[in-house]
Amino acid sequence: MPSTESGSFPVGPASPTDAAALATLAALTFPLACPPAVTEDEAAEFAARALSADAFSGYIQNEARRVLIARGAAEPIGYALLVLEPPSDPLIAAALADLPGPVAELSKFYTHPAAHGRGVASALMTSVLQAAEETGAGSLWLGVNGLNLRAQAFYRKSGFSVVGRKQFPLGPHVFDDLVLARTLSPAG
């Protein structure tokens, strides 16, 4: 269990040497965002494919991605992935059409269960918004499961509101996720 006692949670860009620790954190935290219909095996299969150390290594080195990490005393206690590309899904693009562009996606946002309710997510979100603004993004959007009420409450207090819906396929399931978005104050 990582220490979150210090009260200080440095957040910054991840480096390639963080990839393995991020994969470990992601395997632990991804199931927490899944609705009850998702089995342990289905969540583990997704994590092994999309949240492996190799996958994180690719995200960290991709110019169109930003990986941010909140560091505990020894291990990462939170991470976020920004995607700096417009959505390819026309349903999402339509939901975002009235927002100032360019739009960036907050594709992943997870904190260790020991860090929930301790301000780590807020510190991570502050860095996410700043990083997105530094790229010149005018808006930030994300998808969240309709049953994930804690995340929805957190995003609401972080300035996001519901702008539409999107489908999220996972194993044999197709979930009807909410699309949330907020405007930014882009640099320059």
Ligand X SMILES: CC(C)(COP(=O)(O)OP(=O)(O)OC[C@H]1O[C@@H](n2cnc3c(N)ncnc32)[C@H](O)[C@@H]1OP(=O)(O)O)[C@@H](O)C(=O)NCCC(=O)NCCS
List 46, 56, 154, 160, residue binding ligand X (CB under 6 A): 154
When the beta carbons of 61 and 161 are compared against ligand X, the nearer one is 161
Nearer to ligand X (CB atom), residue 60 or residue 110: 110
Residues 7-36 that bind ligand X (CB under 6 A): 29, 32-33
Amino acid at 171: G
Bridge pairing between strands 139-144 and 161-170:
unpaired
What does the per-residue mask of binding to ligand X show for 44-63, with x meaning CB under 6 A?
--------------------
- Given a contact cutoff of 8 angstroms between Cβ atoms, the answer to whether 108 and 47 are in contact is no
CA distance 186 to 188: 7
Interacting residue with ligand X among 109, 131, 141, 178 (CB under 6 A): 109
Closest CA to 8 of 122, 89, 152, 94: 122
Q: Does 151 bind ligand X (CB under 6 A)?
A: yes
Angle at 59 between CA 23 and CA 7, to 5 degrees: 55
By CB under 6 A, tell whether 137 contacts ligand X.
Answer: no
Q: How many residues bind ligand X (CB under 6 A)?
A: 18
Residue 111: other Cβ atoms inside 10 A: 27
If one asks whether residue 149 binds ligand X (CB under 6 A), the answer comes out as yes
| Residues in 155-184 that interact with ligand X by CB under 6 A | 157
Question: Which residues fall within 8 angstroms of residue 117, CB to CB, at 6 or more apart?
Answer: none
User: Which CB sits closer to ligand X, 62 or 122?
Assistant: 122
Give which of 63, 64, 60 is closest to 23, Cα–Cα: 60
**Helices vs strands, H then E, count in the chain:** 6, 7
In what helix (H) or strand (E) does residue 173 lie, and over which residues does it extend? strand 173-183
Closest distance between ligand X and the C-beta of residue 188, in Å? 29
| Binder of ligand X out of 4, 57, 111, 127 (CB under 6 A) | 111
Closest distance between ligand X and the C-beta of residue 113, in Å?
A: 7
- For binding to ligand X (CB under 6 A), which residues are involved? 29, 32-33, 109-111, 116-117, 121-122, 144, 148-151, 153-154, 157
